């Protein structure tokens, strides 16, 4: 009976995951402003470029860096529309996705930013900013499945990003302050703890421990100033119009 109950739970989780993926709105496949540039000498086609598989440490560091870029984007959108920063997006499952990996079950298309629904008021107030935000949130990178599974580091970072939206909204990316830097440092340290815990607990047979330790060391090279600069980048993109130009594509 216990084994049957376990099978039922596994099936239920799988069905929920599949339904969630199917319910996501298709966003436009775009290279991020911080991504490497497509060249025919390195990639035969643009589709091959979009489906390239990222190194684990690159993907993990990107999820931290661009989370702060996202924070700056939300601050600027809030100022432009009057919608409070902490009300622009909800926590929860991803509502947008640009593509599947197209490379089989061992490779996942993993979101960089994992948050829930966008406030419906934004679409009414500024459709271009709303569309840009959909595409920014829907952006994914192809990574090894082990990096993206819910019970691994991917799931922990998903929860970190959703759970810290209110904290992120307290940072002022339009002016350096001690209070903002204190918040940035705390968010950074909380992220480091997630990575450290993952490196310590992942089964040895699933990965090379020396590679994992190298990944951890690379993540720890990120400092508070780098995160603040990423936030100001996002803030500036909205203010100068380049966010809409790059991301608000149908």
Please name which of 53, 130, 122, 120 lies closest in space to residue 81, comparing C-alpha atoms.
Answer: 122
208 has a pLDDT exceeding 70: no
Half-sphere exposure of 201 (CA within 13 A, CB side): 11
Determine the pLDDT at residue 141: 84
221 has a pLDDT exceeding 60: yes
121 has a pLDDT exceeding 90: yes
18 has a pLDDT exceeding 50: no
For 140, residues 6+ apart whose C-beta sits below 8 A from its C-beta are 97, 98, 99, 109, 110, 111, 112
Please state the domain extents for the chain: 2-248
- Whose tokens are 């966008």? That residue is 118
From residue 98, how far is each of 25, 102, 210 by CA, in Å? 8, 12, 33
Determine the pLDDT at residue 130: 97
Determine the pLDDT at residue 42: 60
Mean pLDDT, rounded, for 179-187 = 97
Determine the pLDDT at residue 101: 67
More confident residue, 21 or 166: 166
Determine the pLDDT at residue 183: 98
Determine the pLDDT at residue 108: 78
240 falls in which pLDDT band (50, 70, 90)?
very high
């Amino acid at each position: 009976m216990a084994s049957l109950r376990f099978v039922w739970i596994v099936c239920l989780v799988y069905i929920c995951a599949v339904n969630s993926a199917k319910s996501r709105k298709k966003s436009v496949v775009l290279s991020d402003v911080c991504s490497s540039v497509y060249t025919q000498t390195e990639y035969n086609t643009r589709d091959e470029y979009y489906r390239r598989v990222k190194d684990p440490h690159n993907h993990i560091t990107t999820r931290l860096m661009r989370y702060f870029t996202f924070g700056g984007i939300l601050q600027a959108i809030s100022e432009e529309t009057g919608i409070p920063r902490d009300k622009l997006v909800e926590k929860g499952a991803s509502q947008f996705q640009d593509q599947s990996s197209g490379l089989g079950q061992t490779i996942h298309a993993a979101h960089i930013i994992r948050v829930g629904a966008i406030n419906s008021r934004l679409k009414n107030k500024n459709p271009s900013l709303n569309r840009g935000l959909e595409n920014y949130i829907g952006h994914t990178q192809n990574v090894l499945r082990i990096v993206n599974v819910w019970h691994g580091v991917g799931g922990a970072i998903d929860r970190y990003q959703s759970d810290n939206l209110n904290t992120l909204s307290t940072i002022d990316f339009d002016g350096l302050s001690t209070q903002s830097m204190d918040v940035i440092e705390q968010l950074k340290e909380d992220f480091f703890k997630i990575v450290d815990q993952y490196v310590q607990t992942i089964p040895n047979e699933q990965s090379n421990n020396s590679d994992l330790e190298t990944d951890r060391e690379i993540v720890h090279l990120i400092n508070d100033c780098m995160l603040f600069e990423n936030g100001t980048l996002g803030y500036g993109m909205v203010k100068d119009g380049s966010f809409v130009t790059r991301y608000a594509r149908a």
